[in-house]
Amino acid sequence: VGQVIGAVVGGFIMGVMNNGMSIMGVNVDWQQVVKGLVLLGAVIFDVYNKNKA
């Protein structure tokens, strides 16, 4: 079970990434790919840490 601060930080990171990629002119399709990979990486990191503990 996560904490509220983790959700806030995650939302902030996704928002900054979205804004930054839009400013850089990255295609919307590639933005979705990048955000999906970041989310997948976060889930893998979380599962790895929970199994390690």
How far is the C-alpha of 21 from the C-alpha of 5, rounded, in Å?
24
Local confidence band at 12 (pLDDT 50, 70, 90 cut-offs): very high
Q: Summarize the confidence of residues 5-20 as an average pLDDT.
A: 95
Residue carrying the six token digits 């295609």: 27
**Count of other CB atoms within 10 angstroms of residue 1:** 2
Q: What pLDDT score does 52 carry? A: 87
Q: Tell whether the model's pLDDT for residue 11 goes beyond 70.
A: yes
Q: Which tokens sit at 49?
A: 């840490």
Kindly tell me if the per-residue pLDDT of 2 is higher than 90: no
Separation of alpha carbons 33 and 39, rounded Å:
10
Q: Which residue has the tokens 């928002």?
A: 15
pLDDT tens digits for range 22-52 = 999 999 999 999 999 999 999 999 999 989 8
Do the Cβ atoms of 14 and 41 come closer than 8 Å?
A: no
